[in-house]
């Protein structure tokens, strides 16, 4: 778990009048929502969430670090802004803000040690012992999901319901994997307690310098994470809720406290929102929209999307992993026990809709042209792929919607939502 905090000071001068707003974006790496990732963040929930808005449906548009951060910085879908090999033109740093925003922007990068190298300081003994083999205090962790998969689903049904990368995972998981994941889950939560302290320090410092009431503070993550779900060891890169849902809390001038907003917000909406706050127009090239009108009642309300695109391009080399020679070429991230987290054809595009229907439709670019469809109202854990049983007309409709979302760019992406607000109803 790493922490990047971009402190953006923006001065907006128009028509001879200058007004200054500070914007702080606190961006964590790999922080989930579905598996209790915000549970350790008591101070953050109080100091940002209770003082402003909590978005309950915030998503990344691609579940891997650099493409998702690039989407935050540019406001574009990955397929529209040259993300190749998980980079934005070979760069994935805070310097991208200078290209997107205006010269009156500076950034401060704060780093908290990742949980794999592990730094939790005074919280070393929280959530049980830090040694492998204990039981982390988790409300919905790998053990629950692992039990659902191994005990309630037959192996045959499991094999035909998910794409091949899920089918190669070993169910039930080995004890070595379970011990590894239990320790990793605990360490992530311990590290988040330190992140929570850092958030408090940033907010306290803004108060000391008399800038807190003049500052918008965003807290979010680049993507989610999994630790054993569907017997995959530990990573992101998957289309499921645990990898694509992210926390999003915002406080600032004009934002009433203790709001909960259900409209779907995407990582591509952050840059347009920050521009909007700074007094600039959303760039024509940006796919996302400003969600400032949703938070601030003084703004003109606009219609909002009910569905969106999630996509990922898989990685994998055309050679065998020497540590796992039996898994064959084309795979990547094979750990532990030689279960692989990625492959060159782990490439997919999905429509996720949150209207009267709560659905996800995904197409894979693999030799099977595999399709996965989930009704998250009746199946919130996405255990059952209904692609072969759902009404074919719905599949056609979602495929057409997917084509639209994949082909749009800039303002066209923002107008799609206004034309098709009834999709999925």
Annotated catalytic residue 65: yes
Contacts of 389 (CB under 8 A, 6+ apart): none
Closest of 91, 53, 100, 46 to residue 73, by C-alpha: 100
Question: Nearest 5 degrees, angle CA 388-CA 355-CA 30?
Answer: 80
Query: If we measure between CA atoms, which residue out of 384, 311, 316, 405 comes closest to residue 349?
Result: 311
Return the exposure string of 348-360: e unless at least 16 CB atoms fall within 10 Å of the residue's CB, then b: bbbbbbbbebbbb
Catalytic choice (13, 65, 338, 408):
65
Active site amino acids: 65
């Amino acid at each position: 778990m790493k922490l990047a905090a971009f402190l953006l000071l923006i001065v907006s001068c128009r028509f001879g009048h200058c007004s200054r707003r500070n914007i702080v974006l606190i961006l964590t790496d790999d922080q989930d929502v579905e598996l209790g990732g915000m549970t350790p963040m008591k101070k953050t929930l109080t100091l940002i969430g209770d003082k402003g808005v909590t978005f309950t449906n915030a998503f990344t548009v691609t579940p891997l670090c650099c493409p998702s951060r690039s989407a935050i910085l540019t406001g574009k879908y990955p397929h529209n802004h040259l993300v190749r090999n998980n980079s934005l033109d070979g760069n994935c740093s805070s310097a991208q803000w200078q290209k997107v925003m205006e010269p009156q922007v500076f950034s401060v990068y704060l780093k908290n040690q990742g949980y794999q190298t592990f730094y939790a300081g005074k919280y070393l003994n929280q959530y049980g012992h830090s040694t492998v083999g204990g039981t982390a205090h988790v409300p919905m962790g790998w053990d629950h999901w692992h039990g659902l998969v191994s005990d309630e689903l037959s192996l045959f049904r499991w094999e035909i319901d998910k794409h091949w990368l899920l089918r190669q995972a070993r169910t039930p998981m080995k004890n070595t994997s379970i011990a590894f994941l239990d320790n990793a889950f605990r360490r992530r939560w311990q590290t988040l307690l330190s992140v929570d302290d850092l958030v408090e320090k940033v907010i306290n410092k803004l108060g000391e310098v008399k800038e807190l009431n003049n500052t918008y503070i965003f807290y979010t993550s680049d993507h989610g994470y999994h630790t054993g779900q569907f017997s995959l060891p530990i990573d992101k890169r998957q289309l499921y809720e645990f990898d694509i849902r992210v926390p999003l809390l915002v406080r600032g001038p004009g934002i009433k406290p203790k709001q909960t907003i259900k409209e779907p917000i995407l990582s591509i909406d952050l840059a347009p929102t920050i521009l909007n706050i700074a007094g600039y127009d959303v760039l024509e090239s940006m796919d996302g929209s400003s969600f400032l009108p949703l938070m601030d009642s003084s703004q003109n309300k606009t219609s909002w999307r009910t569905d969106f695109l999630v996509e990922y391009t898989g990685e994998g080399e055309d050679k065998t992993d020497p540590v796992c020679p039996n898994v064959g070429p084309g795979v990547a991230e094979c750990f532990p026990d030689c279960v692989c987290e990625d492959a060159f054809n782990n490439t997919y595009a999905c429509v996720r809709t949150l209207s009267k229907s709560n659905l996800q439709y995904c197409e894979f670019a693999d030799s099977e042209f595999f399709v996965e469809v989930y009704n998250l109202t009746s199946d919130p854990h996405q255990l059952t792929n209904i692609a072969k049983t759902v009404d074919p007309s719905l599949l056609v409709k979602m495929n057409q919607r997917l084509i639209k979302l994949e082909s749009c760019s800039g303002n066209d992406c923002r107008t799609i939502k206004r034309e098709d607000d009834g999709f999925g109803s």
